[in-house]
Amino acid sequence: MGKFLVEDCDIEGVKILTPTVFPDERGYFMETYQKRDFEEAGITVEFVQDNQSASKKGVLRGLHFQKQYAQDKLVRVIKGAVYDVCVDLREGSKTFGKWKGIELTEENKKQFFVPKGFAHGFLVLSDYAEFVYKCSDFYHPGDEGGIIYNDPEIGVEWPIEDGMELILSDRDTKWGGLSDYVKNRK
pLDDT digits (tens, 9 = 90+) for 56-80: 999 999 999 999 999 999 999 999 9
Please report which confidence band the pLDDT of residue 185 belongs to, taking 50, 70 and 90 as the band edges.
Answer: confident
Average pLDDT for 97-121: 98
Is the backbone peptide bond immediately before 63 cis, with ω within 30 degrees of 0? yes
Query: Is the pLDDT assigned to residue 173 strictly greater than 80?
Result: yes
Does this model's pTM top 0.85? My answer is: yes
| DSSP 8-state assignment for residue 11 | S
Query: Could you tell me which of 73, 69, 90 has the C-alpha nearest to residue 138?
Result: 69
Q: Which CATH number do you get for residue 106?
A: 2.60.120.10
Q: Are strands 49-56 and 60-66 parallel, antiparallel or unpaired?
A: unpaired
d(CA 120, CA 181): 14
64 is catalytic: yes
Catalytic residue among 69, 83, 120, 133: 133
Say how many domains are in the chain: 1
Question: Residue 182 burial (CB < 10 Å; 0-12/13-18/19+)?
Answer: middle
Residue 74: domain span: 4-184
133 is catalytic: yes
Q: What's the pLDDT score for residue 186? A: 64
Query: Is the pLDDT assigned to residue 44 strictly greater than 60?
Result: yes
